[in-house]
Each structure stands twice: as C-alpha cells, then as structure tokens.
Amino acid sequence: MHCKLNFYISIVLFLLSSITVYGQENSASGIAKDTTNELSPDYLPVFTAPIKQHHFYPLHFQSIDTQMVEVNHYTPTLNSHNIYQTLGVAGQAHKSMIFDFEKNMGFTYLKYPFPLLFKTQNDLMLYQLETSYTKVGYFYGLPSENALTLDFAQKVKNAIVSINVIANTNTGYYVHQAIQGLVGDAQVQYETKNKNYGFRASFIINRTENQENLGIRESEFSRLDTAKDQDIKVNSNNGFLSVLTSDFNFQHFLNVKNKQGQYFGTFTHNVQYQRYRSTYSDCIDTTLESPFYSFESDSTFDTLQCYKIVNSIQLSNFTPFSIVSSKNNFLRFAGGIMHEYFEDRRTYYNFHSFTPFIRGNMKFLNFFEVFAHFSYSFGGYIHNDAIANLKGEWTFSKKHHIVLGIHTDFYRVAPDYIYSRFSSNHFKWDALFKKQNIASLGAYLTYKDFKASAKIFLLDNMVIFGTDYKPIQLSKFSRLVQISVYAPFRYKGFGITTHIALQNSSSDSIQVPLLAGKANLFYIFDIFKKKLRLQLGLDVMYNTRYYANGYSPAQYSFYFQNSNMIGNYWFVDAHATIRISRIYFFARIGNLLSPFQQYNMYTSPGYPINDFLFTLGINWRFHD
C-alpha cells in the first residue's frame, strides 16, 4: 500500500513540476476575456441557437464558446453544470442527482438512461455563420478510453449544412464493463432570398453497445483496495445491451403575404419518424443467487422494436427562423394540432392520438416578458393528458442581464409506456395506472452568468420502479423543495465555477442528496510572450449520503433501493490545458483522493468509480 501511495505521489509531483517549468517563461497577466477574435484578426464569428421541434420560440443566437475553461470536460458528465450519478465509466448510464421533471407534449415509450449522450430533436442547434466552422477533438484515457468528437457547419448560398458526431469506446475498469457508443446528427436549414419559404431537415442516430456486469458483488467491496480489477467478482459476466435509435424530422414553413408584401402569418408543417430497437441478453449462472432476475432461467434474450410517426401543423405570427425581437412591445402566438401514430412490433400494440396546442410570448414596457403553453391530448395511450407551462421574466438591466423570473408547470400525464406494459423472460407486467399529477412552482434570479433558483415540486400518483424492479404508483402525496446556485466568479486570471443544490423530499421513495455540489477552480495565464495560454485547475464534487437509485440494464432504467447509502466522498480531479492559437491540449488526472478513501468510492450502488484515471486530449477549432 505504501509503495503504491509513494508511486502515486511521485507521478502527481512530476506532472505538476513539469507544468511549472513550462510556465516560468512569463508571469501571470490579467485575463478578463478570452476569445478567438483576439488571436485572429480575420476571424468570422459563428453563432448558434437552440431550436425546439414543435414548441419553437424566436431564436436567441449566441457566439460559440471559445473559452478554454470547459475544454478539458471531454464528457458531459464532467461539465460544471451537470451533477450526475454514473456507473463509473464514461458513456454508460447516468442519472441527475438534482431532481427535475419535464415532459414534452405527446407519447413517450421510455427514456433511455443516457440523457447527456443520446440526442433528441430538441437538443439540436441552428447555426448562423458566413463561411464554415469545424471543431475536432480526440481524447485518450488510460487504461483504454477513447473518444472522438466532430462539429462541422458550412454555409452554401442560402442553406447551412451541419454535422455533429461523438464516438467513444472504453474497455472498462472491472470485468465485463466495456462500451461502444456513437451519437450523430446531420441538419440542413434553408430559406429563400425573399424569406417566403424555408425548411429544416435533420437526422439523429443514437447507438450504444454495452457489456453489462450488473455491478460488483456486495462481498467484494471490502477488498477493492487490494485486489486486481480482474479478480473482482461481478453479478454477471455475460450481460449485453444494444440500443439503436434513429430520428428523422422535416419541418417547412410558408409565409402568407399579399402582393404588397403585407404579412398575415406563417403556416408550418412538421413530420417526424422515430424508430427504437433495443436488445438485452444474458447467460446466468444458476448456481449463484441473482439479485436482479425474478424467476429461474439460465439465459435471457429480449428485443424491443417500435416506431412512431408524428405530424403537426400550426399557424403562427412568426417563422421557425425568427430571431428575438428588439421591440419594446410585441405579441407572438402559435396554435395547431399534432397527430401521432405508435406501433410496438413486439406486442402488436398501436394507437392514434391527437394533441391540440397553443403557445404565446408577450413582451411589454420593454422589461416584462411572459411565455405560456398549453396542450391536451385525445386518443390512444395518452388520452386526456394535459400540460400547462407559464413563465414571467422581469428584466432590471439588459447590460448586466439582471432578470427575475417566476414559473409554474403542471403535468397531468400517463407514465412512460414501459411502466404500464413490459414483457421479457424475467419481467412481465400489464398494469393500469392513474394519471400522474405533477406541479412545480419556482423563481430564479440571474446576474450575468450567475443564477440562483428555488423550486417546489408537488407529486401525486408518481410512478417509479420499486425495489423488486417492478413499477409501482406511489399512493402518498409527495413534496420536494430545491434551492440551487450556479456562480461563475472571475477575477483577472483566477476563476471558480460553483454549482450547489440543496434538496429535501418528503417521500422515502423519492431519494435525493441533501447537498450536492461541484466546483471548478482554475488559473489562466499567458506564456512565451502571449503566444501560449495555460490553464491549471481542479474539479471538486461532493454529495451527502442518500439512497441513490440502483440500475437495471434489463429494463433500461434506474430503480429505487433502500439498502445501500451512497455519498460523503470528495471527488477531486486535476487538469491542465494549453492553448496555441485555436488548438487546445489538455491532461486530466481523475480521482486524486481515491487512495485516501480506500478506493471504494461510487455514485451508484455496485459501481465503483475508477481510481487515478489519466486522460490526454486535443481540441482543434477552425472558425473560418
């Protein structure tokens, strides 16, 4: 143990001393702003804006992030905004420690447990640029972790073409824990010169192939600090999960004008085709007691195949490509109807549903703005589902972006379809649940990039997976209170980004940590006569003990458990980033404190976090 600790300390000191030597060419200088424009006089700005599939509002474009602060966060779970429990391997299932409930109108079969990796149509961005933009990144982690990212956008006359790809592989740190993942999307946006007609076509593919070991056996945790990884016994040596989803969306619009050019409104039609295919297989050692499977069988092979076709038509007084208005007073509205057809090819279940919807965005007196949405569904599995959202914002200062907002959301919705009907070798149910009634009320205050918020969730008839891996509807009314602060503080070259959440749940079945937080501390300075920019930093994460949800890959879901408490660990990573013009090099050392916390640190029951993970990466951005 002492030899390993000495070796560990030597490696850390060597890396830190190497960074110090390279940094002695120039003293620290004040860095208030970091943009590529300062390094390239010919730089052509590139802007992006999030766009919603059906619920589009006027677009708010922002310049791409050229900061180096978040570059070393090569996987979304490392980002300062995201506080997630994971299975210890980048690319595997994960779940937010900060409770939230949000649902778009329409039918949902299931939500795959990869929210930061799998994309939907609501995760896409529109580009605004003059020529082209390319960003390429590659990351390599020991013992064997690889990730490749590519973002590309090109303007071709009146059209903009964009492609985004994320590919990753990892052999895992314990027996049978390897992953292969691919997330890709392609998009074309076009508008005629007279802006009378336009369209947006997009395609998304989400693919993952995971070897699932169902976690470390409970008897093994006491020997994690002495045993070799391959000696650790797991709950399954043969579990395998394959998921492939594809999503095609075509949205086009026509502006209605008379011969004099007077505008009367915009008709928008949207058609979408979604396809899901999942396969889970496992060979089971019947001589050992399985904590996951319901009845005896020496193997399982379950395949899910389903698809959904969505059509919507709406009339609005703005187009999907409209930007935020600079007027002091305005009223934006849209209304329409959405049709869905769903078919589950395994159970031969299918239905049609219709969802009328209306939404609006009103601004008056140049400082107060209101957003509202309402939808109600008829027919099929989501018959009588209702969703209502209302938000108001009071802007005190546009220059400093001081905004006070309040919002309320109400969902009267059926649980995701997987909770109602499921059939496999080991899990079968056909249940009728009452509608879930979920309401939230919140307020927030922003100042520049700072944001403080408070929310209260009122949960009635909530459906979850219970300790026996089967769905249950909670009979007791629950309340969950949440306060969070996101604070990026900068002073010259020093910076600290802090995200802290305090939570309290009145239900023993909806567990959240009382405190969960993440902080990124860093210092940025120029070296070699300002030819290079260097960042040194630490990432720190902590959460109090609580009954974190377990994970069942056979159901693609996290479930409630009350036998293992997780938390009260400090996760600390060190990182260094060097920027040369538009090229970023970085190195990370993960989980620095693992030797002092007996190695068995984990955020999900049964899945220890790897100790002392060393990662190298490069990120190259071509802006014109």
User: pLDDT tens digits, residue range 128-152?
Assistant: 988 889 999 999 987 788 999 999 9
Q: What is the pLDDT of residues 182-218, one digit of tens each?
A: 999 999 999 998 889 999 999 999 999 999 988 888 7
What pLDDT does residue 90 have?
85
Higher-scoring residue by pLDDT: 101, 64: 101
- Omega before 143 cis (within 30°)? yes
Q: Got the DSSP string for 497-555?
A: EEEEEEEEES-TTS---SEEEEEEEEEEEEETTTTEEEEEEEEEEEE--B---EEEGGG
Q: CA 67, CA 77: separation in Å to the nearest integer?
A: 18
Burial class of residue 525, CB neighbours in 10 A (0-12, 13-18, 19+): buried
pLDDT at 161 over 90: yes
Whether 534 contacts 22, CB under 8 Å? yes
Q: What is the pLDDT of residue 287?
A: 64
H/E stretch holding 7 reads helix 2-22
Question: How many percent of the chain have pLDDT more than 70?
Answer: 88
Give CA–CA dist 83/499, Å, rounded: 8
The pLDDT score that the predictor gives to residue 40 is 42
Residues with Cβ within 8 Å of 202's Cβ and at least 6 positions away in sequence, in order, are: 121, 124, 185, 186, 187, 188, 248, 249
User: What residues pair up with 369 in beta bridges, in sequence order?
Assistant: 363, 393
DSSP assigned state of 435: P
Is the pLDDT confidence value at 470 over 70? Answer: yes
Q: For 2-44, what is each residue's pLDDT tens digit? A: 444 444 434 333 333 333 333 323 333 333 343 433 444 445 7
Rounded CA-CA distance 560/246 in Å is 30
What pLDDT is attached to residue 188? 97
Q: How confident is the model at residue 53 (pLDDT cuts 50, 70, 90)?
A: confident
Question: For 219-270, what is each residue's pLDDT tens digit?
Answer: 666 666 666 666 788 888 888 999 999 999 999 999 998 888 788 999 999 9
Asked whether 604 and 549 are in contact (CB, 8 A), the reply is yes
**363: number of CA atoms within 13 Å, CB side?**
15
pLDDT: is 568 or 598 the higher one?
568
User: Which of 46-55, 171-180, 292-301, 313-322 shows the highest mean pLDDT?
Assistant: 313-322
* Alpha carbons 111 and 183: distance in angstroms, whole number: 16
**Poorest-pLDDT segment among 257-261, 374-378, 401-405, 597-601:** 597-601
The better pLDDT of the pair 38, 448 is held by 448
Indicate the average pLDDT of the chain: 86
What's phi and psi for 68, nearest 5 deg?
A: -100, 5
Distance (Å, rounded) from C-alpha 23 to C-alpha 39?
A: 20
